[in-house]
Amino acid sequence: MTLVLENISRRFADVDVIKDISLSVEKGEIVGLLGTSGCGKSTLLRAISGLDQDYRGTIAINGQVIQGVHATTGFIFQEPRLLPWLTVQDNITFGIKGKQQAVFDRAKRFIEYVGLTGKENLYPRQLSGGMAQRVAIARALVTSPEILLLDEPFSALDAFTKMQLQDLLLEIWEKYQTTMVLVTHDIDEALYLCDRIVVLRDQPGRIIKTIRVEQQHPRNRGSVEFAHYKTDILNQLDFSQ
């Protein structure tokens, strides 16, 4: 499923946060939106999701201009945002319509896929941060989204849990070939996960460079090529200014 943005701009009060951003994402691509805080990465993602409609420009999925939340789009936030009074299974299936057994069977498959078998009846207060984010991933996937939007989904996790969930995300991508747009401020994460990295800077945010990562998955986090890419990105961001 293709995603096309044309001249997207967004103002809050009298401040331009992003201005005239155009971008296309091909079916099955993982595209990262990378930049420092305040350059409009999350603002752009919320516009794509339909959660924020007060932008100028057009966003189209498979050639159809969208207005509001699109049925084929899933969203994973920075925090899991689980409902504390619901179990793991009920959080994953919340809001899904259909026959109860069919919904249960579908949830069971994704619970197993994210490594939470046996945790179905736990409540959010009983979960670690990594486990809670696994529930959020399963909740986003249970509707079979064709486009998955991720807003710094691993930023609050420790380094080892983050790497585990990055690998889980790649397993999901390999299995379903879901189109993904990932907001991150972590250069290493972007290099490990993404086919293309869109580097944004300034306010209003603007695209200063798009970098295609040529390495196939799975990638070596410590490769020499990664070091070259990272140097290029840091030069683009130019913290001296």
DSSP letters of 82-134? --TTS-HHHHHHTT--S-HHHHHHHHHHHHHHTT-TT-TT--GGGS-HHHHHH
What is the pTM for the complete model shown? Answer: 0.94
How far is 134 from 127, CA to CA, in rounded Å? 10
Q: How confident is the model over 177-236, as pLDDT tens digits? A: 999 999 999 999 999 999 999 999 988 999 999 999 999 998 999 899 999 999 999 998
- 95 in a domain, yes or no? no
Residue 239 binned pLDDT confidence (cut-offs 50, 70, 90): low
Q: How confident is the model over 56-91, as pLDDT tens digits? A: 999 999 999 998 888 889 999 999 999 999 999 999
- 172 in a domain, yes or no? yes
Picking from 144, 139, 175, 146, the residue whose alpha carbon sits closest to that of residue 61 is: 146
Tell me what pLDDT residue 97 has: 78
- 113 in a domain, yes or no? no
- 219 in a domain, yes or no? yes
Q: Once rounded to an integer, what is the mean pLDDT over residues 166-176?
A: 93
Tell me what pLDDT residue 237 has: 87
Q: How confident is the model over 22-42, as pLDDT tens digits? A: 999 999 999 999 998 889 999
Answer whether 59's CB lies under 8 Å from 3's CB: yes
Answer whether 197's CB lies under 8 Å from 55's CB: no
- 200 three-class SS: strand
- 27 in a domain, yes or no? yes
Partnered with residue 32 across adjacent β-strands are 182, 197
- 170 in a domain, yes or no? yes
Sheet holding 56-61, edge to edge: 15-25, 3-12, 56-61, 64-65
> Structural domain tally of the chain?
1
- 127 in a domain, yes or no? no
The pLDDT mean for the chain works out to 92
The tokens for 59 are: 């966003």
Given a cut of 70, whether residue 240 has pLDDT beyond it is no
- 9 in a domain, yes or no? yes
Q: What is the domain-level CATH number for residue 168?
A: 3.40.50.300
Residue 178 is part of which domain span? 3-80+145-237
